[in-house]
Amino acid sequence: MEFSECFAVWNKLTPGQQQTLHSSVSLRTAQKGEIIHNGNLTCTGLLLVKTGQLRAYYLSDEGREITLYRLFEMDLCLFSAFCIMNSIQFDVVIQAEKETQYWLIPPFVYKGIMEESAPLANYTNEVMAARFSDVMWLMEQVMWKSFDKRLAAFLLEEAALEGTNVLKLTHEAIGNHMGNPREVVTRMLRYFQSEGLIKLSRGTVEILDEKGLRLLQKN
């Protein structure tokens, strides 16, 4: 796929804007695990995913993490370019979860076009509203869902994303996704194992009873 096919509002830009954008983006590759954007120390730019999978997470001052959302093919990441808007007052870290090809759009090129293009500004609005909705959903979960339900949902989601029931995940990594300390994760995983829902071994969590996890998640 070309940039013009991946970028949702390409056809609503003027030829001049298309030219400016096309000549300034660069296609890059991030290895699995690589940090592409590390909070607001630098304004990296916007990321348009060609292939692969990115994880956006929030990092607290005390070094705690929680996964906010994932980005897949054709998704645009705004928050790696906080400098395009004055009002983005929070830090997000973007990490490649799989080998990922993405186009990097320089922030001031994007901002320049957005300031004169209503279609691009409206598209940016929609992207932000979608991420906002993700975060509101997450907030409801962390406020009011018990940890066992959240963990069951997390394991099922990971299995769906990876296409396997054998998940290569340390307890610490799960804690970083969910915003909870490792000890809390370990305790609940052991409980799940004692209930026959999963099987634990070094660095992996194997789902044995998918139906059971689904039931737990719902109740």
Binding stretches for a second copy (CB under 8 A): 58, 60, 62, 64, 66, 85-90, 114-118, 121-122, 124-133, 135-140, 142-144, 179
Smallest distance from a second copy to CB 55, Å: 16
Smallest distance, a second copy to C-beta of residue 61, A: 8
Please report how close the Cβ of residue 198 comes to a second copy at its closest, in angstroms: 25
Bridge partner list, 92: 58
- Nearest-10 crossing angle of helices 210-218, 147-162: 140
Which CB sits closer to a second copy, 35 or 139? Answer: 139
Residue closer to a second copy (CB basis): 65 or 197: 65
Minimum distance from CB of 58 to a second copy (Å)?
A: 7
54 DSSP β-pair partners: 71, 96
Give the separation between CA 116 and CA 32, rounded to whole angstroms. 37
Minimum distance, C-beta of residue 199 to a second copy, in the bound complex (Å): 29
Name every residue whose Cβ is closer than 8 Å to that of residue 34 and which is 6 or more positions away in sequence: 95, 96
Amino acid 121 reads: A
Q: Which is nearer to a second copy, 130 or 215 (CB)?
A: 130
Q: Looking at beta carbons only, is 54 or 114 nearer to a second copy?
A: 114
Residues 6+ apart with CB under 8 A from 150: 141, 142, 178
- Of the pair 92, 216, the CB lying nearest a second copy is at 92
The encoded tokens of residue 147 equal: 């940890």
What pairs with residue 14 in β-bridges? Answer: none
